[in-house]
Structures are given as structure tokens and as C-alpha cells.
């Protein structure tokens, strides 16, 4: 049984153990016995790593998750207090709660081992009393038991089934990959991905794995396992991303002529869900700072009175027959794309006065439960057992593939039942409308594995590593910026607090001079305190919002501390192009900020390269290096526009255009304006389906109603939703789009990506609903 489960998953990962013995080369009986044990384990095909100090052992523990057994000499370093051995033991248990740990001790010393160490260890080895063959057998047996239990439910079943070499007469038609081997291109494809992928690409006909649609078997076990790990009452695997997750939840919760409260800072899938469900959206408007960074919806907009005013002012509700004005669902984006996290307990208290179902789109935030720095700032916060029927029903969607370790399109829906719950049977009807009857089992297994990686102490260890890397990078950036400023020079800075306070001592210090552990563990260092100039959100309620340390925005020169353009600036898009030229791809770029995500996979080498490239940009900018050298691909595509320019010349021209066109100011005005809705999103889509639309240039759009959403990237939130009116020709909405259009014409290669806009020869065209035709006095 053991071999059948562990062999397929571990066939490239042999048995590996860490032996921590300080005197293994000494001429003593204990050292000779340790050497004999090492030889015995190698003879049993155990890859043995030997560490001779606590520091060495802890480095191995931190760096090598393939260690499947720890053999620790309790007398390490001949320290009578056993501090080195305890440190190694603590380091291992901080990362892995289940890996077998053997303490190498004499019977005399074993009697004095403290209770904490005995609880963390699994067994003892008496080197001078038992035979090496016996001890080696016990160690190998412990490793095999560990390898058996380390796999989560669905992945374990999938790995087991992949070893069943049976002829299949069901889908998929490649039958374990053999069909690909019958043609040259198919064989190339097979060799590229490897046999395991194809043997695990199975059909719903394979009953041993259960069903994604009825949540049975190992797949159902995996969902229940994930619910425990993520703190939910119920969890659902999703194989088409959090876009599907959002659509499932909205369609299960709200329907035609019902009101849904929707964060205007929402993903496009929320627009799709509202369209498909027929819900009437009432938008909750987020804040925005002088950099154009999207902030939270302020608490005063979430009170019962504010929600009622927003609904009463909604033209889709006011004066329409058959509309139930009581909101039934609320959707909030947490964290924001720039890493601002709500105090969810506070949001629940506010919105819970108006609505029974809260839905948090946490696509970029699936790791939050696993580190205490995010306590109470995610949907599944606290103990799920304490979430009862007096509280709102809470949904969370999380893209495990974004910042956890899962394959693309992997997502979870987490549910905590409270008031007005949607029981599983009803919810599953909406789920099955969007789920495939032929799901990709590798995606489900990767979800399963991502949950297992977060289970126990491993989740906190992995997230802490990412936070520490982000903090180290932020402090490096802050130090370089400060050193340049002292010499009246420029450098990039991080969007982060200027100073932090150590709550234990009350001492205030500059961010880059603060203790790294303080920044990595104390959430107060990242809270947006009212009146702090760095964040730009004014007198925000204290503790309402926090900046996520791992979402790092680099700020380029150009924006004054309190808003408005400086005399000289460096558009962030030029820096992004330079980084891309050097193999560094960023997450998001606005006019003067660049977003980097410090995920679980970031290393010091990775961000060290980023720092060096930013320094290279500064050198080339200061020297006004020719674009043929700095951005040769750009010059090759647009030689007439850029051949004669240097890097600083380009930045100056683009910055002058931003000032002339007032792009940053127009963006702020455009997104501060809530357009008038002429139709609901569902009604607008019906016009689209009937082809009752026409493509219009911006100069023709005054007073016209858009048929599709218009979403400029950045910032990535809707400027216009389907069915909304574009407003007057000189209004903020069309004014902003016209500024983008003119900017794009001036700087090919740096054009904006605006969903819902077709660009032909540099001219923006948008689908608008046709005006009613009059024929014989009758309006169609």
C-alpha cells in the first residue's frame, strides 16, 4: 500500500535525512556510532546531509524542504543547556509539524530532556545500545510513513491511480498520452510535458477520484480538507479561475430586479456576473490618492444610511416598477490591486447592517489566513466555529494560482454560513452551470497541494519568508533613496511609511532603519494612520486599512508629496520598458508607480537583480543614453519617432505630454464621477446580442450609452459600465479618454490598454447602444 501511494509522487524525490552531529569526525565511541549509522542509511539509499553546528543545520532546514527526517544529537555543541539542539528542533517544527524527528541521546541525558523538546520529537535513538541495522530500519520506516501522510487527499488518490496500468475505453482520447506518440509533433508535446501529466489527465468516468460536480470521493475529501485549512464552513474547487468563482456566487445569491452592492473597484468578472444574473448594481465608490492608487471604500460610505442614500440615488432603482430596493448581496475587492487590505471585521459590522451576504473578491490574497500580520483582514478571519447565524453569510474567492502555489486557473470558493445562507444543494446548481464535466485533474490536484503547503506551521513559515524578502527589498530601496536625497540626487522610492514606531519602546525611526523583524511581524507598521502624508488618503479611520508588505509599489519621480506634478518627472512606463528589456516583467504600471508582487517564489537573487537594474536605469537616464542603446527594440519598431532621442529626452517629452494633457488630473476626475446609468448591465447586453449597437469615435459619444464596459489599464477599474452614459463632450469621462487617445498617438509603443476600446489608426472607437429610430411617429 505504501509503495503504491508514495512511489509515483516521490519517484524523483528519494529518501533524504539530516544528521546533526557536531563531533562526527572525532575519535569517540559516539562519533564512531554516528558514522556507522550514516553508512547504514546510505546503504538503504537514504541521501544523508550532515550538519556539524546549529547554524548549519538551521540553514539546511530553511533551504531544503526535501528533508524527510531529522536526526538530532541532543548533546550538540556540548552545551549543558542544550540550546543549540533546541534551536534546531524549534526551526524544524516552525516549518514542518509532521516530519519525523529522532533525538540522538544516551539514556542518562534522555531523562532530563524538557517536556517541550519531547513533544516536538517523535522518538529517541540510543546510538551505543541498539544495532545500526535496527536503528536504520526504524528511520527508513519513519520516512516511509511520513511520505505516505504528506500527500493531501486528492493528490494522493491521483498519484495512486496513475500507477494503475489499465487499458481505458473512455475519454480523454489521448489515453494516457499514447495518442501523442503516434505523430512527430505529438511526441514532441509528450516529451515536453512528461508522462505523469498525461496519465493524470483523466475522465469523470474514473470513479476512484470522485466527482467535481457532486463533490464526492477524494475530490470531496480535498474540499473538506481545504475548508479546514482556510477556515471555511465549505470550500469548492474551481478550475476556471476566480472569474468563474465570482460568477457562481453572484448567480447563486442574486437574480433579476434585486439590488447588489458592488465595489466600483471590481474585476471584470463581477460585471459579467451582474449581467448574467440580471442584478441591479448599486456601486460603492472607493477612494483614490494623488498617485492614482485606488484606496478602500471609506467606512462612512458603508453605513446603513449611506447605503440607503446610494440606492435611492440609483436611476436603475428609482422610479422603476418591480425593483426590490433592499440589497441582498455586497461585493468588496480585498485586497485592492495595490495591496490595501480592509479590516474585514469592521466591514462586516458596517455592511452587515444593510445586507445578509458579503462577498470578498480575494483573488490576489489567498495567503492572508496563514500569517498573523493579516489578522482580521481577510474574509475567513478568526475561528469558523464562532461564525454563527447572527453574522452575515460570507463568501471569498481566491485565485490560488496567483500568489500561492497552484496551476493557472486554479481557484477556491470559501463559504461561511450565517444569515440567509445558501445551502449546498442550491449553491451547487449555480456551481454546475459554470463547472466543466471534464475538469483538469492536475488543476484540482494543484489546489489540493497549495492547501497542504499552507497547512500547519508551513503556511506561516512560507508567508513569513515572502514578507521578509519584501521588507528587505523595501528597506534597500528606502536606503538608496535616502542616500541619494542627502546628496541632492534622485532615486526611486517605495510607496510605504516614511517612519514607523516600535510599540514596545515608543521609539520612532525611519523606515529603512527599522528592525526587519519589527516590520515583518507588527501590522501597525503598515496601517494607514489618519493624516500620514505618505499614503495620501487623508483622515482615514485608524486601523481600517493596511498596506500588504508583499505588494510593493515603486514610485518614480514626478508627483509632488501632496499632489500635482513636479517640474521634472520620469514616467513609470519608460522604467517598465527598460526593465522588460532586461528580462524583468512587472505586475502593473500607472503614470508614476510600478507594482511588484513578492510571492512565495521570490528570492534575494531575484530582487537583487531588480535593484541593480533600477540603478542601471538611473545611470543611463542621468547620462541620457541613446534609446538605440537603452531601448533598442522600441527604436527598431518606431525608428522615425525615437531614433534621435536619449532616455532622458524621452522621459521629458512624455512628462511634458502628461502635464499638457493633464492625464493624472483627468484620471482623478474621471474616476471620481459616477456615470448615470441608462440601462442595467443585463439590458445593455441584450442590446449587444441584438446588434442594436454602433461603433462611435469619442467625438461622437456625447450623451451616448455604452454597450460594453470601458476599463482603462491601469488602474484596472471600470470608467464606464455597460448601460452607463458617457456624459457631455467636455465632461470628465470623455475628457479622460480623449487625453489617453492623444497621448497614445504621440508615443507609439507606450499606448494604454483599455478594455472596451477598439483602436483603429490611433482613433478610439467604443460600442454604443443605438438611438431609438422614429418611423411614422412611432419610436422603436
Closest Cα to residue 695, out of 764, 755, 773?
A: 764
Tell whether the torsion through CA atoms of 212, 214, 220 and 224 is positive or negative: positive
DSSP 200-218: T---TT-GGG--TTTT-HH
Instruction: Clarify whether residues 487 and 586 are in a common domain.
Output: yes
Instruction: Clarify whether residues 404 and 497 are in a common domain.
Output: no
Give the mean pLDDT of 252-270. Answer: 94
Which band of pLDDT confidence, cut at 50, 70 and 90, is reported for residue 778? very low
pLDDT digits (tens, 9 = 90+) for 338-390: 999 999 999 999 999 999 999 999 999 999 999 999 999 999 999 999 999 99
Pairing of strands 588-589, 593-597: antiparallel
Residue with cell 463547472: 435
Measured in whole angstroms, how far is the alpha carbon of residue 80 from the centre of its chain? 46
Q: At what angle do helices 732-746 and 647-661 cross, to 10 degrees?
A: 160
Domain with residue 374: its CATH number is 3.40.640.10
**Which residues touch 738 (CB under 8 Å, ≥6 apart)?**
698
Instruction: Clarify whether residues 480 and 423 are in a common domain.
Output: no
Identify whether 335 is preceded by a cis peptide bond (ω within 30 of 0): yes
pLDDT digits (tens, 9 = 90+) for 208-234: 889 999 999 999 999 999 999 999 999
Query: Which pLDDT belongs to residue 523?
Result: 97
Measured in whole angstroms, how far is the alpha carbon of residue 118 from the centre of its chain? 38
pLDDT digits (tens, 9 = 90+) for 443-458: 999 999 999 999 999 9
Domain with residue 132: its CATH number is 3.40.50.2300
Residue with cell 492614482: 292
Assess if residue 628 is contained within a domain: no
- The set of cell numbers assigned to 115 is 517536556
**Which residues touch 496 (CB under 8 Å, ≥6 apart)?**
474, 478, 511, 534, 547
Instruction: Clarify whether residues 496 and 577 are in a common domain.
Output: yes
Higher pLDDT, 5 or 555: 555
Query: Which pLDDT belongs to residue 169?
Result: 65
Q: Tell me how far apart the alpha carbons of residues 255 and 322 are, in angstroms, rounded to a whole number.
A: 13
The residue among 90, 125, 150 that closes a domain is: 150
Q: Tell me how far apart the alpha carbons of residues 378 and 356 are, in angstroms, rounded to a whole number.
A: 18
- Res 2 pLDDT > 90: no
Whole-number average pLDDT of the chain: 92
Domain with residue 691: its CATH number is 3.90.100.10
Instruction: Clarify whether residues 467 and 363 are in a common domain.
Output: no
DSSP 8-state symbol, 565: B
Assess if residue 633 is contained within a domain: no
Residue with cell 565511541: 29
Give the mean pLDDT of 101-120. Answer: 83
Measured in whole angstroms, how far is the alpha carbon of residue 222 from the centre of its chain? 21
Q: Residue 552: beta bridge partners?
A: 596
Instruction: Clarify whether residues 275 and 409 are in a common domain.
Output: yes
Q: Residue 361: beta bridge partners?
A: 333, 397
Q: Using CA atoms of 624, 626, 631, 636 in order, give the dihedral in degrees to the nearest 10.
A: 160
Rounded to 5°, the CA angle 382-388-393 comes to 85
Query: Which pLDDT belongs to residue 9?
Result: 59
Tell me how many domains the chain contains. Answer: 4
Residue ranges of alpha helices (H) inside 47-128 are 54-63, 83-95, 107-110, 115-120
Query: Which pLDDT belongs to residue 716?
Result: 74
Largest CA distance in the chain: 110
**Which residues touch 225 (CB under 8 Å, ≥6 apart)?**
152, 153, 448, 451, 452
* Start-to-end CA span in the chain (Å): 72
- Res 81 pLDDT > 50: yes
Assess if residue 316 is contained within a domain: yes
Q: Tell me how far apart the alpha carbons of residues 413 and 235 are, in angstroms, rounded to a whole number.
A: 6
Instruction: Clarify whether residues 430 and 474 are in a common domain.
Output: no
Q: Tell me how far apart the alpha carbons of residues 664 and 155 are, in angstroms, rounded to a whole number.
A: 49
Instruction: Clarify whether residues 308 and 344 are in a common domain.
Output: yes
Query: Which pLDDT belongs to residue 713?
Result: 81
The residue among 565, 584, 618 that closes a domain is: 618
Assess if residue 273 is contained within a domain: yes
Q: How many residues does the chain have?
A: 780
Domain with residue 512: its CATH number is 3.90.1150.10
pLDDT digits (tens, 9 = 90+) for 21-56: 988 888 888 889 999 999 999 999 999 999 999 999
Assess if residue 219 is contained within a domain: no
Assess if residue 508 is contained within a domain: yes
Rounded to 5°, the CA angle 239-339-269 comes to 35
Q: Tell me how far apart the alpha carbons of residues 602 and 574 are, in angstroms, rounded to a whole number.
A: 24
Q: Tell me how far apart the alpha carbons of residues 526 and 548 are, in angstroms, rounded to a whole number.
A: 7
Query: Which pLDDT belongs to residue 775?
Result: 59
- Res 719 pLDDT > 80: yes
The residue among 95, 122, 150 that closes a domain is: 150
C-alpha count within 13 angstroms, C-beta hemisphere, residue 612: 9
Q: How many CB atoms lie within 10 A of CB 538?
A: 14
Instruction: Clarify whether residues 397 and 484 are in a common domain.
Output: no
Q: Tell me how far apart the alpha carbons of residues 529 and 759 are, in angstroms, rounded to a whole number.
A: 42
Assess if residue 765 is contained within a domain: yes
Assess if residue 307 is contained within a domain: yes
Query: Which pLDDT belongs to residue 49?
Result: 95
Please say whether the beta carbons of 17 and 38 come within 8 A. no
Helix (H) or strand (E) holding 594: strand 593-597
Tell whether the torsion through CA atoms of 171, 176, 177 and 178 is positive or negative: negative
Q: SS3 for 17?
A: strand
> Cα dist. 210→153, 323, 326, 701 in Å?
11, 42, 40, 53
> Cα dist. 143→47, 456, 761 in Å?
12, 19, 65
Q: Residue 419: beta bridge partners?
A: 392
- The set of cell numbers assigned to 506 is 515608543
pLDDT digits (tens, 9 = 90+) for 607-635: 889 999 999 999 999 999 999 999 999 99
Instruction: Clarify whether residues 254 and 376 are in a common domain.
Output: yes
Query: Could you tell me the residue range of the domain that residue 46 belongs to?
Result: 2-150
Spell 394-408 as b/e; 16+ CB within 10 A means b: bbbbbbbbbbbbbbe
Q: Tell me how far apart the alpha carbons of residues 32 and 128 are, in angstroms, rounded to a whole number.
A: 10
- Res 111 pLDDT > 80: no
Instruction: Clarify whether residues 488 and 340 are in a common domain.
Output: no
Q: Tell me how far apart the alpha carbons of residues 136 and 634 are, in angstroms, rounded to a whole number.
A: 63
Please say whether the beta carbons of 6 and 68 come within 8 A. no
Instruction: Clarify whether residues 403 and 471 are in a common domain.
Output: no
Q: Tell me how far apart the alpha carbons of residues 334 and 297 are, in angstroms, rounded to a whole number.
A: 11
Helix (H) or strand (E) holding 642: helix 639-642
Rg (CA), the chain: 30
Which band of pLDDT confidence, cut at 50, 70 and 90, is reported for residue 777? very low
* Burial of residue 318, with CB atoms counted within 10 A of its CB: 0-12 exposed, 13-18 middle, 19 or more buried: exposed
Q: How many CB atoms lie within 10 A of CB 55?
A: 12
HEC assignment per residue over 312-342: HCCCCCCCCCCCEEEEEEEEEECCCCCCEEE
Please say whether the beta carbons of 156 and 5 come within 8 A. yes
Tell whether the torsion through CA atoms of 356, 362, 367 and 373 is positive or negative: negative
Q: Tell me how far apart the alpha carbons of residues 18 and 35 are, in angstroms, rounded to a whole number.
A: 13
Lowest mean pLDDT among 125-139, 163-177, 715-729: 163-177
Amino acid at each position: 500500500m505504501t509503495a503504491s501511494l508514495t512511489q509515483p509522487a516521490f519517484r524523483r524525490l528519494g529518501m533524504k535525512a539530516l544528521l546533526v552531529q557536531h563531533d562526527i569526525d572525532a575519535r569517540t565511541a559516539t562519533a564512531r556510532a554516528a558514522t556507522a549509522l550514516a553508512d547504514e542509511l546510505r546503504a538503504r539509499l537514504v541521501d544523508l546531509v550532515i550538519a556539524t553546528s546549529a547554524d548549519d543545520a538551521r540553514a539546511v532546514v530553511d533551504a531544503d524542504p526535501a528533508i524527510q527526517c531529522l536526526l538530532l544529537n541532543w548533546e550538540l555543541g556540548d552545551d549543558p543547556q542544550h540550546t543549540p539542539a533546541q534551536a534546531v528542533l524549534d526551526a524544524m517544527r516552525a516549518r514542518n509539524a509532521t516530519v519525523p524527528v529522532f533525538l540522538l541521546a544516551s539514556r542518562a541525558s534522555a531523562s532530563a530532556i524538557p517536556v517541550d523538546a519531547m513533544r516536538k520529537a517523535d522518538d529517541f535513538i540510543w546510538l551505543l545500545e541498539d544495532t545500526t541495522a535496527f536503528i536504520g530500519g526504524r528511520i527508513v520506516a519513519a520516512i516511509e510513513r511520513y511520505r505516505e501522510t504528506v500527500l493531501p487527499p486528492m493528490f494522493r488518490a491521483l498519484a495512486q491511480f496513475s500507477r494503475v496500468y489499465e487499458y481505458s475505453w473512455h475519454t480523454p482520447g489521448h489515453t494516457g498520452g499514447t495518442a501523442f506518440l503516434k505523430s512527430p509533433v505529438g511526441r514532441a508535446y509528450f516529451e515536453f510535458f512528461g508522462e505523469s501529466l498525461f496519465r493524470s489527465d483523466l475522465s469523470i468516468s474514473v470513479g476512484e477520484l470522485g466527482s467535481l460536480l457532486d463533490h464526492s470521493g477524494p475530490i470531496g475529501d480535498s474540499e473538506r480538507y481545504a475548508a479546514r485549512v482556510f477556515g471555511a464552513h465549505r470550500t469548492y474547487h474551481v478550475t476556471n479561475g476566480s472569474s468563474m468563482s465570482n460568477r457562481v456566487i453572484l448567480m447563486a445569491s442574486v437574480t433579476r430586479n434585486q439590488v447588489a452592492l458592488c465595489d466600483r473597484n471590481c474585476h471584470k468578472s463581477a460585471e459579467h456576473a451582474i449581467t448574467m444574473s440580471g442584478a441591479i448594481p448599486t456601486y460603492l465608490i472607493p477612494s483614490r490618492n494623488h498617485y492614482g492608487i485606488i484606496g478602500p471604500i471609506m467606512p462612512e460610505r458603508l453605513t446603513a444610511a449611506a447605503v440607503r442614500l446610494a440606492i435611492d440615488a440609483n436611476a436603475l432603482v428609482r422610479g422603476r416598477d418591480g425593483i426590490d430596493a433592499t440589497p441582498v448581496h455586497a461585493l468588496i475587492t480585498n485586497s485592492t490591486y495595490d495591496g490595501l487590505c480592509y479590516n474585514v471585521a469592521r466591514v462586516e459590522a458596517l455592511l452587515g447592517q444593510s445586507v445578509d451576504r458579503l462577498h470578498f473578491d480575494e483573488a490576489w490574497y489567498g495567503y492572508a489566513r496563514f500569517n498573523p500580520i493579516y489578522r482580521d483582514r481577510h474574509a475567513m478571519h478568526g475561528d469558523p466555529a464562532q461564525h454563527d447565524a447572527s453574522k452575515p453569510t460570507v463568501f471569498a474567492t481566491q485565485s490560488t494560482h496567483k500568489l500561492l502555489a497552484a496551476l493557472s486557473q486554479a481557484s477556491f470558493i470559501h463559504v461561511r454560513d450565517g444569515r440567509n445562507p445558501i445551502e449546498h444543494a442550491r449553491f451547487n446548481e449555480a456551481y454546475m452551470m459554470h463547472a466543466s464535466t471534464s475538469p483538469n485533474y492536475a488543476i484540482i490536484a494543484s489546489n489540493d497541494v497549495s492547501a497542504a503547503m499552507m497547512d500547519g506551521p508551513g503556511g506561516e513559515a512560507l508567508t513569513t519568508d515572502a514578507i521578509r524578502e519584501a521588507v528587505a527589498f523595501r528597506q534597500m530601496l528606502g536606503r538608496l533613496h535616502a542616500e541619494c536625497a542627502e546628496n541632492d540626487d534622485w532615486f526611486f522610492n517605495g510607496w510605504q511609511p516614511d517612519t514607523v514606531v516600535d510599540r514596545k519602546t515608543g521609539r520612532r525611526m525611519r523606515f529603512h532603519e527599522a528592525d526587519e523583524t519589527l516590520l515583518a511581524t507588527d501590522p501597525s507598521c503598515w496601517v494607514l494612520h489618519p493624516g500620514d502624508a505618505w499614503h495620501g488618503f487623508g483622515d482615514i479611520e485608524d486601523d481600517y486599512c493596511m498596506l500588504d508588505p508583499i505588494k510593493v509599489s515603486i514610485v518614480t519621480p514626478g508627483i509632488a508629496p501632496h499632489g500635482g506634478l513636479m517640474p521634472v518627472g520620469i514616467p513609470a512606463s519608460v522604467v517598465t520598458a527598460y526593465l522588460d528589456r532586461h528580462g524583468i516583467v512587472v505586475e502593473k504600471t500607472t503614470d508614476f508607480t510600478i507594482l511588484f508582487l513578492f510571492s512565495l517564489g521570490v528570492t534575494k537573487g531575484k530582487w537583487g537583480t531588480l535593484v541593480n537594474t533600477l540603478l542601471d536605469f538611473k545611470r543611463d537616464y542621468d547620462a541620457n543614453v541613446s534609446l538605440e542603446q537603452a531601448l533598442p527594440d522600441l527604436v527598431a519598431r518606431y525608428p522615425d519617432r525615437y531614433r534621435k532621442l536619449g532616455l532622458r529626452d524621452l522621459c521629458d517629452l512624455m512628462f511634458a505630454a502628461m502635464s499638457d494633457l493633464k492625464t493624472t488630473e483627468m484620471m482623478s476626475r474621471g474616476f471620481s464621477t459616477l456615470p448615470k446609468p441608462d440601462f442595467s448591465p443585463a439590458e445593455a447586453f441584450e442590446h449587444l446580442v441584438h446588434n442594436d449597437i454602433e461603433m462611435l469615435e469619442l467625438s461622437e459619444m456625447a450623451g451616448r450609452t455604452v454597450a460594453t464596459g470601458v476599463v482603462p489599464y491601469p488602474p484596472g477599474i471600470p470608467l464606464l459600465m455597460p448601460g452607463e452614459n458617457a456624459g457631455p463632450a467636455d465632461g470628465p469621462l470623455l475628457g479622460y479618454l480623449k487625453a489617453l487617445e492623444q497621448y497614445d498617438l504621440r508615443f507609439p509603443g507606450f499606448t494604454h490598454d483599455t478594455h472596451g476600446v477598439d483602436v483603429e489608426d490611433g482613433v478610439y472607437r467604443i460600442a454604443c447602444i443605438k438611438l431609438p429610430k422614429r418611423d411614422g411617429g412611432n419610436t422603436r
